[in-house]
Homo-oligomer: A and B are copies of this chain.
Amino acid sequence: MALAQDYDQQDCPVARALELVGERWTMLIIRDCFLGVSRFNDFLDHLDIPKATLSSRLAKLVDSGVLRREEYRTGQSNYLLTKQGEALWPILYGLAAWGEAYHAPRRGPRRIFSHVNCTTVLDSSGSCPTCKIVPPASDVVIQPGPGAIPNFRHDAVERALQKPHRFLTKLQNSEPTPTPTARRRA
């Protein structure tokens, strides 16, 4: 029996949702998508996930319409959230808020989410206290909070997140994806 698949005996929307996003790693992959990660090797570096597992999860997510895959002639490919994938934002924010509230060392939040329009920090339900709305993920900015451990990870994705970063926009990790002549480094 698959791990988080086939809660066959349950006629319940929660069970159906969990069949897709309830497997180990899946929500962290989706979190990274919101952060702007889109390339196979970036997921790999940022998550410390086995390649085969990542490959299988991405395939399943594409298959079920949570992600779509853009492939380029260079051999590169991008995994991007679909509308359905973006609709997972409230769940992800809920997990973050709950984890921060009940299971974090007491040094303040490690990530701060704010509304791009007014720079107000979101409340525990993901709503902007100033604008009185729940901003869509695309209008959210993430930045390190006081509880963040300064150099906990050393991958390119984490470095890019040291500065405030708008959700769903591509991270400028190392080099800005190779253009014909821009490749002079080693």
Contacts and interface: CB of A to CB of B under 8 A. Distances in A.
A72 interface: no
A153 to B, nearest CB: 7
Contact of A110 (B13, B24, B102): B13
A40 interface: no
A103 interface: yes
A10 interface: yes
Interface residues of A, number: 51
A163 B129 CA distance: 38
B14 A18 contact: no
Number of copies: 2
Interface of A: 3-4, 7, 9-22, 24, 27-28, 31, 47-48, 64-65, 84, 87-88, 90-92, 94-104, 109-111, 125, 134, 148-149, 152-153
A88 B75 CA distance: 42
A125 B90 contact: yes
A12, A19, A88: residue with the most chain B Cβ atoms closer than 10 Å: A12
B24 A111 contact: no
